[in-house]
């Protein structure tokens, strides 16, 4: 049942890239080769890692559990390469940020704009990763600040939360439910719903809300980022519930935003090295970010009241 390094690399690449084709491109291999290797891994393990629907792969619960162990115990070449890149640019980038895509696409640009007006020139280096990869990035300590959705238990750093309001509903403009200012879980019954990935912490919270309300949503699609959710919503694929920061970024365009009757608080988790030489600058950046987050929440609240 022992897996070799190649098999671990293949499994990790498929989990991270979400498809055999993308994983094959990343590894410089072919889709048929990786498909055979994944089946060999499953044969060795004695259980299925993926559910197969045509060309689409959905990780099983066993795969998610196994990948969590892989991420904790194995730093792949991609992670090492990114860390080396960050170290290499250390002298050129005064402030290095590792963040999930939701923040790199919403609040971070606004904070940098505000920060640049308040301070002397600062060179920023922003690295956008899925939350599972951020756990590895944090161990390298080459970043000044990490932004995630979940707080991590790390003895080598300091963590704190910035509350940014409740999660909100997003719908295509012109959708029948946009006639209401407040949506309840019952309004989602039978609606095509765009889910976050199975290991997303807020998917679990939302699933609990709908389970408690005994409401079944129709599966429309599953994706990993809030920006991708909004793109799918705008295309009319379905409706969803996302974080208020991304919602504030997309509101007023092809996506309509509405309140959810059940409060699902959303927090932005921060981590930074306790002994960083740039601690003063980190704290100034966090203060600016807290200020911008408050303003974004107020603007969204005004829109929702309107």
Residues 252-280 pLDDT 10s: 788 999 999 999 999 888 888 777 777 88
**Lowest mean pLDDT, pick from 76-80, 120-124, 284-288, 299-303:** 76-80
Q: Residue 121: helix, strand or coil by DSSP? A: coil
Pairwise CA distance, residues 200 & 229, whole Å:
13
Q: Does domain 5-73 have CATH number 1.10.10.10?
A: yes
CATH class, domain 77-164+266-305, is alpha beta
The predicted structure's pLDDT at residue 47: 87
Cβ-count burial of 121 within 10 angstroms (0-12 exposed, 13-18 middle, 19+ buried)? Answer: exposed
Residues 290-299 pLDDT 10s: 999 999 989 8
Pairwise CA distance, residues 224 & 132, whole Å:
11
Confidence bin at 180 (pLDDT 50/70/90) = very high
Q: Do domains 77-164+266-305 and 168-263 have the same CATH topology?
A: yes
List, in order, residues 6 or more apart from 243 with CB less than 8 Å away: 102, 149, 164, 167, 202, 226, 266
The predicted structure's pLDDT at residue 273: 79
| Longest distance between any two alpha carbons in the chain, whole Å | 60
Pairwise CA distance, residues 48 & 60, whole Å:
7
Give residue limits of the domains in the chain.
5-73, 77-164+266-305, 168-263
Q: In the chain, pLDDT over 90 holds for what percent of residues? A: 36
Pairwise CA distance, residues 109 & 246, whole Å:
12
pTM: 0.67
Q: Residue 83: helix, strand or coil by DSSP? A: helix
- Across all residues in the chain, what is the average pLDDT? 84
CATH superfamily of 168-263: Periplasmic binding protein-like II (3.40.190.10)
């Amino acid at each position: 049942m022992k897996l070799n390094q190649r098999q671990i690399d293949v499994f990790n690449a498929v989990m991270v890239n979400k498809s055999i084709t993308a994983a094959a491109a990343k590894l410089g291999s072919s889709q048929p080769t990786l498909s055979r290797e994944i089946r060999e891994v499953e044969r060795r393990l004695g259980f299925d890692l993926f559910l197969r629907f045509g060309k689409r792969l959905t990780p099983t619960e066993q795969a998610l559990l196994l990948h969590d162990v892989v991420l904790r115990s194995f730093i792949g070449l991609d992670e090492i390469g990114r860390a080396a890149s960050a170290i290499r640019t250390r002298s050129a980038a005064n402030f290095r940020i590792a963040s999930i895509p939701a923040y790199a696409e919403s609040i971070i640009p606004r904070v940098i704009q505000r920060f640049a007006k308040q301070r002397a020139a600062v060179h920023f280096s922003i690295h956008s990763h899925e939350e599972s990869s951020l756990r590895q990035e944090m161990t390298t300590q080459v970043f000044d600040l990490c932004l995630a959705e979940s707080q991590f238990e790390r003895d080598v750093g300091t963590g704190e939360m910035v509350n940014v309001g409740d999660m909100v509903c997003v719908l295509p403009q012109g959708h029948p439910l946009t006639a209401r200012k407040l949506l309840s879980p019952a309004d989602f019954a039978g609606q095509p719903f765009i889910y976050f990935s199975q290991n997303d912490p807020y998917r679990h919270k939302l699933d609990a809300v709908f389970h408690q309300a005994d409401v079944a949503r129709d599966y429309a699609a599953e994706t990993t980022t809030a920006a991708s959710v909004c793109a799918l919503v705008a295309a009319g694929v379905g409706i969803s519930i996302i974080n208020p920061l991304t919602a504030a970024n997309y509101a007023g365009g092809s996506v309509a935003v509405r309140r959810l009757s059940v409060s699902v608080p959303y927090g932005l988790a921060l981590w930074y090295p306790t002994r960083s030489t740039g601690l003063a600058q980190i704290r100034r950046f966090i203060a600016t970010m807290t200020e911008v987050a408050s303003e974004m929440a107020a603007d969204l609240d005004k829109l929702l009241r309107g």
